[in-house]
Amino acid sequence: MSVNIRYITAEETLHLRRDMLYPGWGLDDVRISDDAEGLHFGVFEEKDLVTVVSLFFKGKRAQFRKLATVTNRQRKGYGSLLLKHLMEECRQRQMESLWCNARTTAESFYQQLGFKRSSELFYKDNIAYYKMEISLEPAAKKNFTIIPAIDIIGGKCVRLTQGDYEQKKVYNEHPLEVAKEFEESGITRLHLVDLDGAKKGAVVNWKVLEAIAGKTSMIVDFGGGIKSDADVRIVFEAGAAMATIGSVAVKQPELFFSWLQQYGADKMFLGADVKEEKIAVGGWLETTELSVYDFLKSNMARGVQEIFCTDIAKDGLLQGPSTELYKKIIKELPGIQLTASGGVSKIEDVYELQEAGLAGVIIGKAIYEGLITLAELKKFL
């Protein structure tokens, strides 16, 4: 399902404004005198307009008005997605704050997004309101997370080239030793991939996960072969902090969303494998017609927070990361927490990704081949 945000006209907002906020009123009654000066945005599911909002600027403050979502699309995260888009729009225009007159029934929704009450209770058209406002001062520079990868086949630390099991190289017989070396250097995150599990379609190397989670304090995300409720349960019971989900989110999105709801967004690490801006699945053997932008938008709308993206044309080749692709994704999806994966071959690549606004980077072969040292990575820790 394609979900996107785009500019619309004031006229296009009127039906949703009226039907959701003021049923029984005429369309002319829900017009705003300043509509001509405002910016108007809509969330679209495929071709259907499902959420609207209008944005107005005055000095260094911006006000949004008439946020409305069609009834059968409420509680899907579209309002939150749209407001995050507005915040980014305002930051780009150097606005210092964003505010609205919020119905008291919606106060908790705005509080979850960081808005705070900035007025006493007041009434308009017999409806109770508070003014809610959020500061848009530039946030402190976000941490950039270094995430080394350990790929497992037969209990050993290996790396593949472009996902090809025939192009396998064993780097260490004991993955726990590798993880401990990472931890001793000050690294706190680890990306653990069960390649046997990915091939089989069920988790296999959970004992390796159990050993690393039990004998280090690293925050481990684990993926490969997670296809069922039982697989997810095994992964968390074995000590993973996060479950890495890829193909299931593409082929069985409702199953993935059920895990998202059951375990929480902080427990899911969504992986998007990309080829020419289209999503790939099945060990990269199958490229879909699903745009990476649409895929990520729809998942963010459902609450996904942590995402990494691999350009499969780059992975394991040490030819540099797909920085331009990542920049496009960040531009299209304001607020995305995007981690880069694949292609990193030198420390300059890591600096480039940090400068591009990525939240972090997964590094594999470049570490094992000695092209990037743990000492060099300490600058990011």
Q: Which residue numbers are catalytic?
A: 151, 273
- Cα torsion angle, 334, 71, 65, 43, sign: positive
In three-state secondary structure terms, 114 is coil
In three-state secondary structure terms, 131 is strand
Q: Which of 356, 347, 361 is nearest to 311 (CA)?
A: 361
CA angle 336, 328, 191 (to 5 degrees): 50
CA angle 296, 300, 305 (to 5 degrees): 105
CA dist., res. 59 & res. 121, Å (int): 25
Q: Which of 354, 359, 317 is nearest to 336 (CA)?
A: 359
* 374 exposure class (CB count in 10 Å sphere: 0-12, 13-18, 19+): middle
